[in-house]
Structure 1
Amino acid sequence: MLDVHPSTSFTFLETLTIASFGANDWKLDDLVRLFELTPNLVRCTLPNIDVRTSRSDHDLPIVILPNLHSLEFGDSVVRDGLTTGNDLLRHLTLPALETLAVPLYVASFDDFSLFLRRSAPPLRSLLLGCGLYKIRFPQLHECLRLLPSLTHFDLCAPFAALDADLFAALVDSEFLLPNLQSLKIQSQALFHHSSLHQTVLQVLSARHPQLVCFHLCAKQHRPDTEILDGLRQLAADGMEIFIGKSWKKNYMSI
């Protein structure tokens, strides 16, 4: 339990790192109280934190941190009634947020969408770590369309094979992530869509030269020679491209 004097306020605190204490994990209400005491926070890191929630948490207030530019969670997993700190987003409004790294689980895409609508942040860098076995594109699309300012998007989804809908949407809609410069996707799941690499080439061609970096590290077959030729032409024009099964094997170089 967070025990501070009622008059305590960390008004001048700008950088905060919150660590896990093993068996003494944080309670959500204590975290919310802590953020209430740090109104001028600029950067916050929660490298490996588990948060205990309770039925009374829905009564917690929503805290506005008008100066918070960077919020980065770790990659801890859901276990034994514990959740990663992304539950905290339900109780935060961050109108100045530019960098966010957060793990999402189960139905938390809905909570994330509500957070984005409430905060309307000028987000530039987003790293989504995902423990889902299946990512439903409409949920992801709902979140991404709320982030027109985004320039760097990383999706690390170890168990989930994202379907080709995301890439198709990036080709068809100039309004989805219009400022995107870097797109990185990492998964251990199998990408088995026969038209995946063709759609990827269409995305990179349509977004060139603004898009300068693309990584797709997942279980996938080698792109056809014609597609590889197109990708290599984009690489020759200055785009950083990685496509492979693991970081040790880039189809672009073999």
Structure 2
Amino acid sequence: MELGNYVEAEELLNTLRNLNDYNYLIRAAKWNDYKGNLDDTIRLMEKAMELAEESGSENLMLWSYSNIADYYGHHGDLALSYKYYLKTLELDPQNDYALKGISWIAYSNDDDTALATQIINKLQSRHHIPDYNLILSEYASYQNDEKKALELRESFLKETNKPAYRGMYNTYRIENLLAGTEAQQKSGLELAIIEVENRATPETYDLLGYAYLVNKMPVIALENHKQFVQNKTFEPVAQLHLAQIFKENKLVDVAQPIKNELLEARYELGPVTYKEVEQI
């Protein structure tokens, strides 16, 4: 799936089919998430979580609680999402994934940017990885501190340009280059082309099409998204880019139904990105 080999992935998954097998269930959940079947994803993860609890394995319970908390959040069940992040922390009080999830709830749902920032600052003090600067940049932007937001984005781009990272942050680099200067936007397009060559998935093609749009090539962006993105991924950001591309090509009537669906995705997108939805 990570390489975009979806036919092969489905065939392999079908050979493993066993609704009483934990490893099958978590892979089937991931597959259904990719297909946009979030209800089925949660049903499969709930079954996997039951098996994890029956096994008594702390590692399996940790993985199950933290991941189902994420899926509940995508589904809009924030009380359940919060509950299972807390259950994760009961087993592992230092769990970064759960703390990051709670930070997002504080920011995107509770409008408590101070708490959200405090959590990320704490995580960053323990593990200085570039991701946290991006999150803090978004929080700063939400608070209208564009100077700080820009500084944090530039810090991320500088750090992740080091050879040691070997392209592992390319997706995030593309997004942030496209939000920068004209020269950075061109670099973002060049990197998006390389990323598709390395890993051709609907998500990488989405970034490529969006890069064409930002670089004032809306017709090429439209051709790209029609062929490689539309009906192939249901991630909200990809849907946002699709709607923006339709609008830029004067296909407002086609963009409107996508916008209507995205208006229900404020929590998942976050309030900063949600403003882009409102502008479609």
Q: Which has the higher helix share?
A: 2
Q: TM-score scaled to structure 1, two decimals?
A: 0.32
Q: Which has the higher strand share?
A: 1
